[in-house]
Structure 1
Amino acid sequence: MQELKNGRARFGWSGPGSDLRRIKEISSSQRTSNEKVTWRYTQFLMKRLTVGDRLVVQLKRPLRQFLIAEVTGEYGSTDPEMDDFNHYVECRLLTNDYIRVDSQMVSQQLRHHLSKRGQYYEIYNSDALDNLERIEKISREGGEEFEKLNQEGNAALFASQALEEELIKKAYERISQKWPSAHFEGFVKELIESMAGVEVKKAGDSGKGWDLTIKILDPFDGSDLLDDIPVQCKNYQGNVKTEKPIDDLIRCSRNSKSNYAYLFIMGDISKSFKVSFDMRMEETKQVLGRDIEWRMIGQEEIAKLYLKKLNALT
């Protein structure tokens, strides 16, 4: 918050050696794995943002409040000053205080767009953009009107959202306990078989890094789009403190002709695990000389798929 007040919006994925101006001058084939991962997640700071753009800034998860800023200058970096958040964009705050997502000021349309997941995304919807402009105006004027409109105005909606989050959490906790490692592969097999356009081709420990292979079908004629895709199943409780799943993904890519591999994993995934996941995927691409893509399906996504499966049965 203090950095925003000082005119800088900071962004992560930016430890020492991550200045995008320097990485940009290196050809993609010559970049290190760390540089490739940094560029993938943060290049939009240089390529997409221009002076005058608005930034909706979220400082905590889950999203309960936000700020609005305007881009006033170019990308910069304090590399290697800090271990993270060295990227910054010059900006000025347009809202004088946090805006509550559940407030009367925030329309349902804007709330829908703010709920999207991702490192960043652009809001195009004209109604949502108009609502952001109105929020800016009310915030600048401040006073009793702002205080009044920034109070809770959608209690029922957020009670519903809180209930959904609780159901998802209880679902993945129950899955983790009910289907321990020895049986988790069978659970994932049944889960995949409940999904339209995906078929389990072969189940059972391959000895090559994967527990299942699947094929993905064309939604129009049912023909195979992708075949023999390896799937790895891991069930951990609490923090995932090992990189064995990543080791096994490397084995999957080495022993399979598929460019894709999926990891279904229970447990709390740290940022360091995600960084290692991406970096080691880039290293595997270089070693094998082909365009490898790994996809990680975490416990929240697994729980949602399971709840969807149950809903389809009722």
Structure 2
Amino acid sequence: MTRYFKYVAMNEGNEDWMYEELQNGRARFGWSGPGSNLRKIKAKDIENRSREEKVIWRYTQFLIQRLELGDRLVVQLERPLRKFLIVEVTGDYKSTDPKQKDFNHYVECRLITDDFINVESKAVSQSLRHHLSKRGQYYLIYDQDAQAELEKISQQAILKDKTFYENNQNDRSTEFEINRMNEDTLQRTYESISQKWPSAYFEKFVADLINSTYGMEVFNQGDTKQGWDLTMRILDPMDHKSLLHDDVPVQCKNYQGDVIGTRPIDDLERCTANSDSPIVYLFILGNLTEQFNKEFNERLEIQKNKRYVEWKIVGQNQIAQMYLNSINFQR
């Protein structure tokens, strides 16, 4: 199946130029001021790269290391996401460095969709919109249903399907707008939590959140230097009294933007080694990248080969929903 990547290329004030570049076969990407040519950076030994070159390589190496001929990019040029284009990679990475102040990076491409696809239209499902709304400058779209829908949109655009273009002009129902509002509310909520409860205090927030959630209660709180920040009890959801799990390790991480590094996974391994619990929880704010999820799954499988254990992630959307539910309960 064709691979689809979300590709966020926002050049504020220059959206028309970015679109013209796509029409001319160039999918531009940022983090690319003067001195940013990835081929020149790649040719240098790591220890000989400047700090700026290391940052550029870190955030944009996928253009030269990951993308292949035939891959398709779901291109977002503005925030918030209201419309997108689909292009197909037709050539290699290139650079116009040092011509532009930024956006010298580009990959050769051809437009699949001549016109923008309206995410609020009947041409786009609520599920696909969800998968395209994740944070991150680029990521591979894994969900098979989302891939299939993007493939269908691509084929309809290529065939100039009349019904598809009509659907793209017609907005969805009130239900769609309500769902969009709910998603926006969750995003504003977890962003506010992240800012108001920085890392040093996030553990206290999670403890209060657990205690305000039916079927969960904090057992012990405080960093034990064994990998967890607190432990909790999980009660039977039918009577909220019978104990299902006792002394379950919980670690709390607050990131803004992409989750960089493997410290949360390292701590999950420490929890597993220092506790007999069959479940370990990670409450985490931040965008879980493709690289993080891959590392998480690989290392969980290693742990399961040693003994049965489940690692449960409570991500930022779920944390926001739990918080909103707790407010309603208190009322």
Take 1:53 and 1:117, find their aligned partners in 2: how far apart are those partners? 20
Among residues 103, 118, 141, which one is paired with 1:85 in the alignment?
A: 103
Q: CA deviation at 1:78?
A: 1.0
Deviations 1:74-107 (A, max 9, x none): 0011111122111100000011100111222223
Matched, 1:128 2:146: yes
Partner residue in 1 for 2:176: 157
Q: For the structure 1 residues 32 and 91, does the alpha-carbon distance in structure 2 shift closer, same or farther, using more than 3 Å as the test? A: same
Q: Secondary structure at the match of 1:124?
A: coil
Q: For the structure 1 residues 168 and 143, does the alpha-carbon distance in structure 2 shift closer, same or farther, using more than 3 Å as the test? A: closer
Q: Contact 1:215–1:224 (CA<8 Å) still a contact in 2?
A: yes
Take 1:173 and 1:70, find their aligned partners in 2: how far apart are those partners? 37
Q: CA deviation at 1:129?
A: 2.1
Partner residue in 1 for 2:78: 60
Take 2:179 and 2:111, find their aligned partners in 1: how far apart are those partners? 32
Deviations 1:224-257 (A, max 9, x none): 8999x9x99xxxxxxxxxxxxxxxxxxxxxxxxx
Amino acid at match of 1:96: D
Q: Secondary structure at the match of 2:102?
A: coil
Matched, 1:3 2:21: yes
Q: For the structure 1 residues 144 and 310, does the alpha-carbon distance in structure 2 shift closer, same or farther, using more than 3 Å as the test? A: closer
Matched, 1:26 2:40: no
Partner residue in 1 for 2:325: 311
Matched, 1:96 2:114: yes
Among residues 111, 125, 132, which one is paired with 1:107 in the alignment?
A: 125
TM-score between the two structures when normalised by the length of structure 2: 0.57
Q: Contact 1:57–1:67 (CA<8 Å) still a contact in 2?
A: yes
Q: Contact 2:209–2:326 (CA<8 Å) still a contact in 1?
A: no
Take 2:321 and 2:167, find their aligned partners in 1: how far apart are those partners? 36
Q: Secondary structure at the match of 1:70?
A: strand
Take 1:4 and 1:33, find their aligned partners in 2: how far apart are those partners? 31
Amino acid at match of 1:161: R
Take 1:175 and 1:124, find their aligned partners in 2: how far apart are those partners? 27
Among residues 138, 145, 148, which one is paired with 2:163 in the alignment?
A: 145
Amino acid at match of 1:190: K
Q: CA deviation at 1:155?
A: 3.9
Q: Contact 2:31–2:56 (CA<8 Å) still a contact in 1?
A: yes
Q: Contact 2:26–2:109 (CA<8 Å) still a contact in 1?
A: yes
Deviations 1:124-164 (A, max 9, x none): 33332222222122223337423311122354123332244
Equivalenced residues, count: 229
Q: For the structure 1 residues 19 and 201, does the alpha-carbon distance in structure 2 shift closer, same or farther, using more than 3 Å as the test? A: same
Amino acid at match of 2:45: S
Q: For the structure 1 residues 310 and 71, does the alpha-carbon distance in structure 2 shift closer, same or farther, using more than 3 Å as the test? A: closer
Q: Give RMSD over aligned pairs.
A: 4.2
Take 2:139 and 2:29, find their aligned partners in 1: how far apart are those partners? 14
Q: Contact 1:10–1:87 (CA<8 Å) still a contact in 2?
A: yes
Take 1:84 and 1:173, find their aligned partners in 2: how far apart are those partners? 31
What are the equivalent positions in structure 2 for 1:98-247 lying under 5 Å apart? 98-142=116-160, 144-150=162-168, 151-166=170-185, 169=188, 188=202, 190-194=204-208, 200-201=222-223, 216=229
Q: Secondary structure at the match of 2:138?
A: coil
Q: Contact 1:168–1:304 (CA<8 Å) still a contact in 2?
A: no
TM-score between the two structures when normalised by the length of structure 1: 0.59
Q: Contact 1:192–1:199 (CA<8 Å) still a contact in 2?
A: no
Q: Contact 1:55–1:69 (CA<8 Å) still a contact in 2?
A: yes
Q: CA deviation at 1:304?
A: 7.9
